[in-house]
């Protein structure tokens, strides 16, 4: 089975840049999306159902902002939107799909780059998300958590760790949270398979960062309650230019 996660930075923009054609070619069984930035999801749903996907949307209340989705060729047994937290849920940050043999989360973690208020919200979200994820893990059912975490874990995951040491997304407290998350049994599937540097999933639009590969790896697929050998392949699609992020795909078997 193949699962792809992608922060599209606006789903209509990504569609205009070739998302549907790319999706037809790659043909993932499940596509997790972040930053769909679309409230009127019915405007695009038929484009994905025509490709064989069941569409589960969770937009933000604010138009043109945030929002997540799960598009799946396998119908979900249950969809749970949000975690019963007013702020996070109003921003459309977490959607859970329960399938027969596994459970899957598409998540868009807050950014703290706009200042101290949002950074504090991010820290609170991290604490709350760990509690949420541990409850899902405690069921014993295989669990995949996909999305834009807005944190580079280690120096290998960012192009210039020294100059970014005090930048939101690479702060010691944020990196320590990823340490703790992994210690709780959540496997960073990409780093499970790939140990070398210069693999990134986000690039600034400024200063030609993408062409120079001056990036950050902030998009992840975490796995829990799965045998290590079930993780077959993980790929960062750095050549896909529809967003400031690129897709990440995981092939696995249960």
Q: Which parts are annotated binding residues?
A: 7, 35, 148, 150, 244-245
Which is catalytic among the residues 108, 132, 200, 220? 108
Task: Decide if 148 is catalytic.
Answer: yes
**Bind-site residues for Mg(2+):** 7, 35, 148, 150, 244-245
Which is catalytic among the residues 53, 58, 132, 148? 148
Task: Decide if 153 is catalytic.
Answer: no
Task: Decide if 220 is catalytic.
Answer: no
Q: Phi-psi category of 197—alpha, beta or left, where left has phi over 0 and alpha has psi -120 to 50?
A: beta
| Residues belonging to the active site | 108, 148, 245
């Amino acid at each position: 089975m193949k699962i792809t996660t992608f922060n599209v930075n606006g789903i209509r923009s990504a569609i205009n840049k070739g998302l549907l054609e790319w999706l037809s070619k790659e043909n993932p069984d499940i596509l997790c999306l972040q930053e769909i930035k679309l409230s009127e999801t019915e405007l695009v749903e038929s484009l994905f159902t025509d490709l064989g996907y069941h569409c589960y949307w969770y937009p933000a209340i604010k138009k043109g902002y945030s929002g997540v989705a799960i598009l799946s060729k396998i119908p979900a047994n249950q969809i749970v939107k949000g975690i019963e937290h007013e702020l996070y849920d109003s921003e459309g940050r977490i959607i859970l799909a329960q399938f027969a043999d596994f459970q899957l989360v598409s998540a868009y973690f807050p950014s703290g780059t706009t200042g101290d208020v949002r950074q504090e919200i991010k820290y609170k979200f991290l604490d709350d998300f760990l509690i949420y994820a541990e409850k899902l893990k405690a069921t014993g059912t295989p669990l995949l958590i996909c999305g834009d975490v807005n944190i580079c874990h280690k120096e290998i995951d960012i192009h210039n760790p020294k100059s970014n040491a005090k930048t939101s997304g690479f702060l010691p407290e944020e990196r320590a949270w990823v340490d703790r998350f992994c210690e709780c049994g959540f496997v960073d599937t990409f780093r499970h398979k790939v140990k070398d540097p210069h693999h990134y999933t986000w690039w600034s639009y400024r200063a030609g960062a993408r062409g120079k590969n001056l990036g950050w790896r902030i998009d992840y697929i975490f796995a829990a309650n799965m045998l290590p050998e079930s993780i077959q392949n993980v790929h960062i699609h750095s050549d896909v230019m529809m967003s400031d992020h690129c897709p990440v795909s995981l092939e696995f078997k249960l």
